Amino acid sequence: MKTSTAVRIAVGQHHSIDGDLDRPDASSGLVVFAHGSGSSRHSRRNQQVARSLEARGFATLLIDLLTPEEEVADARTAHLRFDIELLATRLVAIVDWIRQRDDIAPLRIGFFGASTGGGAALMAAAGRPDDIAAVVSRGGRPDLAGPALPLVKAPTLLIVGGDDTAVIQLNEEAMARMGRVVVLEIVPGASHLFEERGTLERVSQLAGDWFERYPVK
C-alpha cells in the first residue's frame, strides 16, 4: 500500500510549483525527480522509473520545476529549461520544504535527474551536501553544473545511452571534475530518451541498486 498526495510548494514570494508525492508503507527514503528539457512531472519515462522505485520501498516526489506560466514561456523560447541555477534553486527549496514536513522530514533524500535536470540535481546536491544521500542522472547534462561539480559530495551515478555519443563525452568530461564517488554506466543500444525496448527497465534497475547501495532508504 502507498499514500499518494498532490502537493504545492512555494518557491519565492510569488511562485508555487506542483508535484505528486507517493509514499509506500514503511518507506525511509525519498527520491526527488528533476525532469529534463521540455518535460514535466507527467513524463512517462520518469513515471515508469518512479513506480519501479516505489516497488522497492522508496517514496518518490515527481514535481514540476517550473510554474505553469513559466512552462508556457519556455515552450516558446526553451530558455528556462537551460537555466540550471534557477532549476537548482527550486530543488533546494523542495529539500527545505521536505525538512519542514513532519511526515517526511526524517527521510533520506536522493535526486533522480534527467537531461538538464541532471545538471540541476548536481548543483543542488552541492548546495545541500548534508541533505542529499545520492544522485542518479539519466541521459543527463552534468556538465551544466559547471563549478559546482567538484563540490558534490553525494555518490553519483551517471546513466547514458550507448548510442548517445555526444552526451557520453559530456558526462565523461563532467566526471573528470568530480572528486567523490562517481560512476558512468552506459546502456548498450539506448538513445538519449531510452525509448528502445528494455532500456528504461535497465535504468530503473541501476537507479534502484544505486539508491540501495548508498542508502536513501
Domains of the chain, each with CATH number or no CATH:
2-213 (3.40.50.1820)
Give the span between the Cα atoms of 111 and 154, in whole angstroms: 10
Q: Model's pTM, two decimal places?
A: 0.94
Cell representation of residue 148: 559546482
Q: What is the mean pLDDT of residues 144-153?
A: 97
Q: What is the pLDDT of residue 73?
A: 80
Higher pLDDT, 72 or 145: 145
Q: What is the pLDDT of residue 112?
A: 97
Q: What is the pLDDT of residue 209?
A: 97
Least reliable range by pLDDT among 11-15, 110-114, 202-206: 11-15
What DSSP line would sit under 46-83, residue for residue? HHHHHHHHHHTT-EEEEE-SS-HHHHHHHHHH--GGG-
pLDDT category of residue 119 using cuts at 50, 70 and 90: very high
pLDDT over 80 (residue 36)? no
Judge whether 61 and 30 are in contact, CB under 8 Å: yes
Judge whether 91 and 65 are in contact, CB under 8 Å: yes
pLDDT category of residue 41 using cuts at 50, 70 and 90: confident
Cβ-based neighbours of 118, under 8 Å, separated by 6 or more: 34, 36, 137, 138, 139, 140, 141, 142, 144, 158
pLDDT over 80 (residue 42)? no
Q: What is the mean pLDDT of residues 87-107?
A: 95
pLDDT over 90 (residue 75)? no
Least reliable range by pLDDT among 35-49, 99-113, 123-137, 177-191: 35-49
Average pLDDT, the chain: 93
Q: What is the mean pLDDT of residues 58-66?
A: 94
Q: What is the pLDDT of residue 76?
A: 83
Higher pLDDT, 1 or 167: 167
Q: 179 to each of 14, 149, 210, 216, how far by Cα in Å?
A: 37, 8, 18, 21
Q: What is the pLDDT of residue 216?
A: 74
Higher pLDDT, 3 or 72: 3
Give the span between the Cα atoms of 12 and 206, in whole angstroms: 35
Q: Dihedral through CA 71, CA 147, CA 178, CA 99, nearest 10? A: -60
Ranges of H-type helices in 3-146: 44-55, 68-77, 84-99, 116-127
pLDDT for 153-189, tens place per residue? 999 999 999 999 999 999 999 999 998 999 999 999 9
Q: What is the pLDDT of residue 37?
A: 63
Is the sign of the CA dihedral 204, 208, 214, 217 positive or negative?
positive
Judge whether 33 and 50 are in contact, CB under 8 Å: yes
